[in-house]
Amino acid sequence: MFANLLKRPLHSNALLAGLLLSAVGSVQAQDGADIPVQYSLLLLATVPNECSAVGPNSPYVVSPNGRFLVGSVLEDRNGTSCGKVRSTLRMRSPEPDRVKNFKQVKDLQKWVHGVSSDGRSAGSIVGFSTQAFVTGPQGSGEYPVVVGDSIAAKANAVNRQGVVAGSYRQSFGTTRAFVADPSSAYVARDLGTLGGQESWAWGINERGQVVGSSLPSIDSFKPHAFLFDPSSQSLMDLGSIGPYGSVAYAVNKTGQVAGNGYFDPTLTAVVKGFITEDNGQNPRWIEPLPGTSGTSVSGINIHGQVVGLGWVKLGLNSEPRAIVTGRNGVGTYNLDELVQLPAGLHLRFASSISDHGDIVAFASDSAGANGHWFLLCKAANCQP
């Protein structure tokens, strides 16, 4: 279960909008960023124990402006299967203590992976051939991403202008990063590679900059993180960063990139998160939690606060804990220590963070069961 948390690419048998706690005070990160002593907590979804072993393979995420939440989770059907998907897009209500369920995707084979600040959702329909799709603002309409020679396509992120970033698998087996936008009727455009045969796109910002990874040469198996800039129409190689390569997962409006560097050939066992300066410059490591050496990151906001997971020592073993950093990736904090959770639960992984500092995180017990998705808010009672 916990190994799945390191992979990037749950459901809701009860959409509960309660469990609210008040924020109390703050502590100062090393560069002055406020980190709440106690986040408000809103339960988004509960994962049946029968499905917990599958893990959060398509996380709940929050839009950059914090107004929209989107997520896909696996449901248990009559205790026999966890292969059914339920996806929801929610828009925050201006009324206190409420989250409005704005749109619910009914298709049980439809995954939603990203959401923009105006409620556009991007995802994939899983079937004989996986198809990427995107919606209009506030979940209106649904448009297929048209990919040419493809046996599977996945839209991973979308911005407010409706530009979609994702990856598709060609008929002969290689994977390529793409972008698509409304002006081309969502016909995908291949972003190319850094010199090898494959590339993958994971994130996009409001400027249309895309991040992901690519193999740098035909004979290389170590991916390099990249930043695609629409003004130059080219991929910028961010370098190997780790001895076994790197992957960029998120980018904010100024071009700060967050991703992972890898220290073993499996790209899972030893991972360290990194952050760059604006426009992908000068990557540096995210500080791990005390007494450990690894982090894995997944999201970044306009202030350079990064979220993901770190590790804590428990005797001879280690367990993952959700983390958040201060501004520009300075200082790393265990979110488990900044929120009051139900007994037995720990925050394992944080998937995204809004520009206001609200965080989406996944919790489970020590056995990996009793999975829940939560919204952690800086504002009292999770009010907008």
Q: What is the pLDDT of residue 196?
A: 96
Q: What order do you get walking across the sheet with 284-285 strand by strand?
A: 246-251, 257-262, 271-275, 284-285
Q: What is the mean pLDDT of the chain?
A: 83
pTM of the model: 0.88
d(CA 14, CA 48): 10
Q: Which residues neighbour 66 within 8 Å (Cβ) at sequence distance 6 or greater?
A: 92, 354, 355, 356, 358, 384
- Residue pointed to by tokens 């190689």: 237
- What confidence category does residue 237 fall into, taking pLDDT thresholds of 50, 70 and 90? very high
Q: Which of 88, 68, 48 is nearest to 375 (CA)?
A: 68
Q: Which of 323, 316, 265, 277 is nearest to 296 (CA)?
A: 323
Q: Give the pLDDT confidence of 126-177 residue by residue, as tens digits.
A: 665 689 999 999 888 899 999 988 889 999 999 999 999 999 999 888 999 9
Q: What is the pLDDT of residue 270?
A: 82
Residue type, 28: Q
- For 198, the token pair is 């494959």
Whether pLDDT at 18 is above 90: no
Domain extent at residue 212: 2-382
Strand 284-285, strand 271-275: pairing: antiparallel
Q: What is the pLDDT of residue 381?
A: 63
Segment 8-35 mean pLDDT: 38
d(CA 87, CA 112): 6
d(CA 12, CA 284): 37
**Which CATH number does the domain housing residue 251 bear?**
2.120.10.30
Sign of the CA dihedral with 101 first, then 338, 344, and 269 last: positive
Q: What is the pLDDT of residue 34?
A: 62
Whether pLDDT at 53 is above 90: no
- Overall number of domains in the chain: 1
Q: Give the pLDDT confidence of 98-136 residue by residue, as tens digits.
A: 444 334 544 556 888 999 999 999 998 766 568 999 999
Q: Give the pLDDT confidence of 64-86 residue by residue, as tens digits.
A: 998 888 888 777 655 556 667 77
Q: Is the Cβ–Cβ distance between 13 and 46 less than 8 Å?
A: yes
Q: What is the pLDDT of residue 366?
A: 84
Whether pLDDT at 31 is above 80: no
Q: Which residues neighbour 109 within 8 Å (Cβ) at sequence distance 6 or greater?
A: 85, 125, 126, 127
d(CA 199, CA 297): 19
Segment 318-339 mean pLDDT: 95
**Choice between 289 and 269, residue whose per-residue pLDDT is larger:** 289
Q: Which residues neighbour 126 within 8 Å (Cβ) at sequence distance 6 or greater?
A: 85, 109, 110, 111
With residue 87 as reference, give the H or E element that holds it. strand 84-92
- What confidence category does residue 52 fall into, taking pLDDT thresholds of 50, 70 and 90? low
d(CA 287, CA 332): 6
Segment 299-322 mean pLDDT: 93
Whether pLDDT at 2 is above 80: no
- What confidence category does residue 57 fall into, taking pLDDT thresholds of 50, 70 and 90? low
Q: What is the pLDDT of residue 201?
A: 98
Q: What is the pLDDT of residue 15?
A: 26
Percent of the chain exceeding pLDDT 70 equals 79
Q: What is the pLDDT of residue 378?
A: 81
**Choice between 137 and 49, residue whose per-residue pLDDT is larger:** 137
